[in-house]
Structure 1
Amino acid sequence: MCGIVGYIGREPAAPYLIEGLTRLEYRGYDSAGVAVLNSKGKTTRVRTAGRVRALESALPARLSGTVGIGHTRWATHGPAEERNAHPHASVSGRINVVHNGIIDNAANLRSALSDAGVELSSDTDTEAVAHLIAQSTADSLEEAVLDTLAKVSGTYALAVTDEAHPDRIVVARSGSPLIIGVGDEEMFLASDVAALVRHTNRVVHLEDGELATITSSGFRTFDRSRNDTDRSPIEISVAAEDLELSGYEHYMLKEMREQPAAAQDCMRGRLDERFATARLDGLELDARELRGFDRVKILGCGSAYYVGQIGAQMIEDLARIPADAEAASEFRYRRPIIEPRTLYVAVSQSGETADTAFAVNEIRRKGGRVIGLVNAVGSTIAREVDGGIYLHAGPEIAVASTKALTNMGISFALLALHLGRLHDLSFADGQRIIRGLQRVPEQIQEILDQESEFEQIVTDLAKARSAFYIGRVRGFPVAREGAQKLKEISYIHAEAYQTSELKHGPLALIEPSMPTVAIIPQDDLTDRNVAAAEQVLARRGPLVAITHASVDLGNLPVSTIVVPQNEPELDPILLTIPTQILAYRTAIALGHDVDKPRNLAKSVTVE
């Protein structure tokens, strides 16, 4: 949530800030702003409600200054108005601050500032930080920031400029990502490497509790006890062209079309046909340790949670050990019992999802073993877990996850295969799963090639105000993910139910204006799924079946989307692809911005 950028060097800062904010806009896009320090130590601050392009249009024709910070916002405190946009400034304008995260004690801090005669100009938690830094009597900006952090509780990534110290930007991190980019006599700052890759491939990931002073000639990292932490830059492999639209109308469309190649990248070097298993060296757990786990607990949020449910079923099917998935956002608040013989799996595309990162911390604090399925090398979760599986999906910009989600499903299949072969999965079944995985990329392509056939279904779905998605066992998390996609980018209310639960309440809502999307694979529950479809049709409910060619729907008046059949354990990966296309094309039909749906952001770094 929210994007931070910063620049200090020899060149005008404003173009770097606007470019970086544009690249980070998927992290928040209800308002944006910049603060630029000129050579005389005076700050020009410009803020607008709305997208970064509105901010760019509002900038002065000549905005000099080689030091600056910028921010694109996802609102947590106060509506999307200019007065709530970052950067926030002290009363005199000397101090400017951009902030990601949430200051938990903001109400008390704001009240104390008001009582002291400070006139607050926004509804935000961040403004309090700017005033507190300005009130500090410390001799340096670093000490003033440290004084303020001693009064603050919550999560933050902060970047601060000071007209009294125009040669530096001071930054701090606790629970929200912050990255320093190292250039040649210029330094960059961002909350995501996407804002840096055009200018440098050398970065420093700040750890929780760290601060840094950034000047044009270098940086110094230190902790809150003022001890140097001596961070060294690492090289990143993300290329600028990976972040371009490359001729596609939307990032979501581009990323859907990239799924066959991304799936191959995810499996490359990991399928061991000789021993009918998966090679997952990144787990950092040997065979003896893995056999010692009696249970698997998967933690994720949103789509990652739903694909975690798919993964749990795969693990139970192939490894025959109990597995389940839980929303990471609820996990630590129920005082969980961390079991030493449970393998915990944290799932996050960005590797920065705050609720999932907090769950990882809770597990580690209580002595549990946790691995990660993440897409971002060097991310918070990737650094905190004991080992893991990188998704190798490449950068994903659209808020609605597609290729990363698919690679999560494939990664769970690899993990389930690996665990299965360490338990009782036969060599023949291991080979069967490997052959199935090898077919997945071409089968995804086959589904994508059918996109034009969705036209009439999309036309009908776009007229609905609500929809049901239903599925059983392996199909239920597919239904949950499908409903999530539809609601988040088309704004049509959608709800997922187990097919078996229809008759226990939801059937009362079935009528001609309420379409149902049913997941009906060819498996041992096909007859019961078809029977449920007939119950919907008997109540004149429109029905769309995502199904296999071998499923006999007779002469039922059903709109069908046929998916190529794979092994039963792997079918959910493929059944999910049509739900992406349905959501995308429905949103387009309704004229919505599919890459930046209202009220949502890509990387959820606040609670």
Structure 2
Amino acid sequence: MCGIFAYINCHVPRERRHILEVLFNGLRRLEYRGYDSAGISIDADNDDHLEEVKKKKKGLGLGGEAARQLSPPLVFREEGKIEKLVTSVYQEVDATDLDLEFLFASHAGIAHTRWATHGPPSPRNGHPQSSGKGHEFLVVHNGVITNFLVLKETLVRHGFVFESDTDTEVIPKLAKFVYDSLTAEIESNGGGETVKFSQVVMEVMRQIEGAYALIFKSLHYPNELVACKCGSPLLLGVKEFGEEDRRGAFVESELILAKDGKPKEFFLASDASAMVEHTKKVMVIEDNEVVHVRNGSVSIFKFEREKMGKLRGMPRPASVERALSVLAVEVEQIQKGNYDHYMQKEIHEQPESLTTTMRGRLIHGGSKVKGVLLGGLKDHLRTIRRSRRILFIGCGTSYHAGLATRALVEELSGVPVTMELASDLLDRRGPVYREDTAIFVSQSGETADTLEALEYAKSCGALCVGVTNTVGSAIARGTHCGVHINAGCEIGVASTKAYTSQIAAMTMMALALGEDTLSSCSRREAIIDDLINLPDKVREVLKLDNDMKELAKELMEEQSLLVFGRGYNYATALEGALKVKEVALMHSEGILAGEMKHGPLALVDENLPIIVVATRDATCIKQQSVIQQLQARKGRLIVMCTKGDANLMCPNGSYRFIEVPQLQDCLQPIINIVPFQLLAYHLTVLRGFNVDQPRNLAKSVTIS
């Protein structure tokens, strides 16, 4: 998924060098999302053109401040990594003698990391995309415009020439068309009015379709930016100067709309990680909101498509008053610390992330009955228990987390559980009923297919529950209730600590659903006891790090890997194979062991490595049978088993074993996935790939 970032310094003098570095660092914070090109736009020096521009724009009533920066902004775009962009920018600065010490009292800069969807990675397909010669309008975009071909045909008929293969290019060109049309209309009526930047953007929004987060920069509106979104994440950050209290902390403003003229810096970004080093005062921009940053103030409008007419006579949009919230993320959380990679750091953070996920939610000890307290669900538990069925809906790793807890939810609630991949549910338009409870699982809370499935389930009248790692995300805001997993910031593209925390959170959900059933009391208490011990057990498994590195050395030249699991650990097989596949770029397949005879057995020989998950649970005896059949065919086995069970699992064979501690069967997937995470990490490093930026993958996924 693309990353967008913008920085405005208003009445805060900053050198061009400083502005560039803020933009570059913002992009570096978004690298984890995945990208194949990057670009920025900043202002040029315009004082030489002042008098000429004043005369040119006098008829429209644009003052000297607006005229002062009507020389075209500078646009830099490069294929490849951000550091390549940085190098090329400074090379061009040297070649053109651009003054890096030039001081801007106010300035608006935009930046972008692109993950190619329309057109291959190249400078011409990079962002910012331009309206044409002179860069009158520039746009950075995260998302997909579905009707861009129709718009492109229309704009071509009006004389616009397209230079890229992207869907995004229609947006700045459409903005120029709208601006020119409105300007001509004003002039034909005698002038006197000005075309508002937000008005241009809302007319663009009226004509485009798809999912997007957009930031507009314009030659006609210097030191201003307009941002809007529909289905893609976008946040606004505010840093105010001169308002420090005696403790040295920024005083919280209830609103950010006052035009007080105080020095401020504003930040717009796809993710809080890009702005946490600058400010913790943020606002999550809602769908169909238009945010206009100008002269130290923020105006927020609600775009209502059905009320927006065509160019002439557009009604004044309703303004919105919003409060700032405070980020809980610390800068240290988005840094690698002593680790070589984010994925490595996040694997080893799992004891802490699990502790945080469970903190304050488990009731145990003393005279109190053991139980679970989930504040976000307590008012809806009765409705969920009376549901016709429960649907777990997610994509990729989040889907696997739901699969890992399906059996426990059915066991403790007595309600049948259906698993749905979000994209498949949407393709089928599968039936969802008012009596259903739909649980949407997403690490980011912004996964586009899952979001679309949420809108579909809401339209069907189902109770919608969110399980996310991001407070204020679209899924967290769009569901009726939910559970925040509290795993902390996850930068690595391959989800690790979020997965294990999702399982823990949904296990607690299952415990809460079953708390009024006396027959399951001892089972619930045993699970709670093991939840309390879970972080220590994960620390124990992390000691297998060197063993997994040695196993990775043995497997690094292999082309394929099979993983067999069943019961609770069918999810482990799928997720373990996915981890190897997505970061090590090695074909791997998770297989339900009960289906081994129905095709997969044909692949077994002495060369293909096979991992069998056979920890002690209700399916353990069946897994022993699977191991014996694989042995009979000289399979190259690696067996994951409970400590002390190696001889029991393979009494007649000398195979490699991965021994892990035992917990309640429903918690074993949390323990069992950790060796796979370590294996995938070491395989990737040994094979020479970038573990934090896998090929062709992004952190959040847009609609395909």
**TM-score bucket of the superposed structures, by smaller chain:** over 0.9
Q: Does 1:182 align with 2:224?
A: no
2:300 counterpart residue number:
221
TM-score when normalising by structure 2: 0.84
- Residue 399 of structure 1, CA deviation: 0.3
Preserved contact between residue 125 and residue 164 of structure 2 (Cα < 8 Å): yes
Q: Does 1:398 align with 2:439?
A: no
Q: Please, which runs of 5 or more residues in structure 1 have no aligned partner? A: none
Q: Deviation digits for residues 531-556 of structure 1, max 9, x if unmatched?
A: 21232233333111111124312132
Preserved contact between residue 284 and residue 388 of structure 1 (Cα < 8 Å): no
- Residue 606 of structure 1, CA deviation: 3.4
Preserved contact between residue 132 and residue 173 of structure 2 (Cα < 8 Å): yes
Preserved contact between residue 79 and residue 123 of structure 2 (Cα < 8 Å): yes
SS at structure 1 position matched to 2:376:
helix
RMSD (Å) for aligned C-alpha atoms: 1.6
Task: Pick the aligned partner of 2:358 from 245, 267, 280.
Answer: 267
Q: Please, which runs of 5 or more residues in structure 2 have no aligned partner? A: 47-68, 94-98, 183-194, 241-263, 305-316
Preserved contact between residue 283 and residue 386 of structure 1 (Cα < 8 Å): no
Preserved contact between residue 103 and residue 152 of structure 1 (Cα < 8 Å): yes
Q: Does 1:205 align with 2:284?
A: yes
SS at structure 1 position matched to 2:28:
helix
2:626 counterpart residue number:
532
- Residue 457 of structure 1, CA deviation: 1.8
Q: Distance in 2 between matches of 1:362 and 1:120?
A: 36
Q: Does 1:89 align with 2:120?
A: no
Larger of the two Rg values belongs to structure = 2
1:158 counterpart residue number:
214
Preserved contact between residue 546 and residue 578 of structure 1 (Cα < 8 Å): no
Task: Pick the aligned partner of 1:508 from 590, 598, 602.
Answer: 602
Q: Distance in 1 between matches of 2:378 and 2:233?
A: 25
1:578 counterpart residue number:
675
For 1:244, give the aligned amino acid. Q
SS at structure 2 position matched to 1:372:
strand
Q: Distance in 1 between matches of 2:530 and 2:451?
A: 33
Q: Distance in 2 between matches of 1:423 and 1:168?
A: 59
Q: Does 1:375 align with 2:469?
A: yes
Task: Pick the aligned partner of 2:690 from 571, 593, 596.
Answer: 593
SS at structure 1 position matched to 2:229:
strand
Preserved contact between residue 37 and residue 163 of structure 1 (Cα < 8 Å): no
Q: Distance in 1 between matches of 2:616 and 2:125?
A: 53
Distance 1:285 1:521, change over 3 A: same
Preserved contact between residue 549 and residue 678 of structure 2 (Cα < 8 Å): no
Preserved contact between residue 437 and residue 464 of structure 2 (Cα < 8 Å): yes
SS at structure 2 position matched to 1:343:
strand
Task: Pick the aligned partner of 2:172 from 130, 139, 144.
Answer: 130
Q: Distance in 2 between matches of 1:575 and 1:396?
A: 20
Q: Distance in 1 between matches of 2:378 and 2:127?
A: 42
- Residue 172 of structure 1, CA deviation: 1.0
- Residue 286 of structure 1, CA deviation: 4.3
Q: Distance in 2 between matches of 1:363 and 1:86?
A: 35
Q: Deviation digits for residues 31-61 of structure 1, max 9, x if unmatched?
A: 0000112463231100111111111111134
Q: Deviation digits for residues 116-139 of structure 1, max 9, x if unmatched?
A: 332211110001111111111232
Q: Distance in 2 between matches of 1:549 and 1:156?
A: 50
1:109 counterpart residue number:
151
Preserved contact between residue 434 and residue 460 of structure 2 (Cα < 8 Å): no
Distance 1:425 1:437, change over 3 A: farther
Preserved contact between residue 405 and residue 568 of structure 2 (Cα < 8 Å): no
SS at structure 2 position matched to 1:237:
coil
TM-score when normalising by structure 1: 0.97
1:8 counterpart residue number:
8
Q: Distance in 1 between matches of 2:153 and 2:511?
A: 56
Structure 1 residues 54-69: aligned runs within 5 Å: 54-60=84-90, 61=93, 62-63=99-100, 66-69=107-110
2:654 counterpart residue number:
557
Q: Does 1:346 align with 2:452?
A: no
Q: Distance in 1 between matches of 2:548 and 2:572?
A: 18
2:373 counterpart residue number:
279
Preserved contact between residue 385 and residue 415 of structure 2 (Cα < 8 Å): no
- Residue 14 of structure 1, CA deviation: 1.8
Q: Which moved more, 1:450-459 or 1:24-33?
A: 450-459
For 1:269, give the aligned amino acid. G
Structure 1 residues 365-444: aligned runs within 5 Å: 365-444=459-538
Preserved contact between residue 375 and residue 392 of structure 1 (Cα < 8 Å): yes
Task: Pick the aligned partner of 2:615 from 521, 538, 547.
Answer: 521
Q: Does 1:37 align with 2:43?
A: yes
Q: Distance in 2 between matches of 1:596 and 1:328?
A: 24
Q: Deviation digits for residues 554-582 of structure 1, max 9, x if unmatched?
A: 13232111110001121111111111111
Task: Pick the aligned partner of 1:24 from 21, 24, 30.
Answer: 30
Preserved contact between residue 564 and residue 611 of structure 2 (Cα < 8 Å): yes
Q: Does 1:258 align with 2:317?
A: no
- Residue 287 of structure 1, CA deviation: 4.5
Q: Which moved more, 1:306-315 or 1:290-299?
A: 290-299
- Residue 297 of structure 1, CA deviation: 0.9
For 1:132, give the aligned amino acid. L
Q: Does 1:47 align with 2:77?
A: yes
- Residue 99 of structure 1, CA deviation: 0.3
Preserved contact between residue 32 and residue 51 of structure 1 (Cα < 8 Å): yes
Q: Deviation digits for residues 295-353 of structure 1, max 9, x if unmatched?
A: 22111110000111012122123333211321112223322322233221111111111
Q: Which moved more, 1:538-547 or 1:434-443?
A: 538-547
- Residue 473 of structure 1, CA deviation: 1.7
